[in-house]
Amino acid sequence: EAGVTQFPSHSVIEKGQTVTLRCDPISGHDNLYWYRRVMGKEIKFLLHFVKESKQDESGMPNNRFLAERTGGTYSTLKVQPAELEDSGVYFCASSHSSSYNEQFFGPGTRLTVL
């Protein structure tokens, strides 16, 4: 069974440009999460989808970030316009619906904004 995949693995853009990150969760996982690790600090929660609905988006930094999960399968996270402080590693995770909530993580997308 394929794990969580993320695309691209690396992205280097200039300040003011737009970038879209993609996450494909494990098939059958209703829960999808986005996290971010900035400058070697803690991994911070961004948002949580249950199927196509946003369950919790309290971690989204500002309105330059837009996450979607049309059809409840893969998800995209768009940053527009990107700022220098958006640089970091963006992780996606998915989990099956259960109280245990074991989250399976993707390899992350390393975003560098110049």
Partner 1 sequence: GEDVEQSLFLSVREGDSSVINCTYTDSSSTYLYWYKQEPGAGLQLLTYIFSNMDMKQDQRLTVLLNKKDKHLSLRIADTQTGDSAIYFCAVYNNNDMRFGAGTRLTVKP
Q: Which positions touch partner 1 (CB under 8 A)?
A: 3-4, 33, 35, 40-45, 48, 55-56, 91, 93, 100-108
* Between 3 and 16, CB nearer to partner 1: 3
In the complex, the smallest distance separating the C-beta of residue 85 from partner 1, rounded to whole angstroms, is 17
Q: What one-character DSSP code corresponds to residue 103? A: P
In the complex, the smallest distance separating the C-beta of residue 42 from partner 1, rounded to whole angstroms, is 4
List the one residue out of 13, 3, 17, 6 whose CA is nearest residue 91: 6
* Between 20 and 103, CB nearer to partner 1: 103
Rounded CA separation 74/92 (Å): 10
Residue where the block lists tokens 């949580």: 48
Rounded CA separation 89/9 (Å): 9
* Between 80 and 97, CB nearer to partner 1: 97
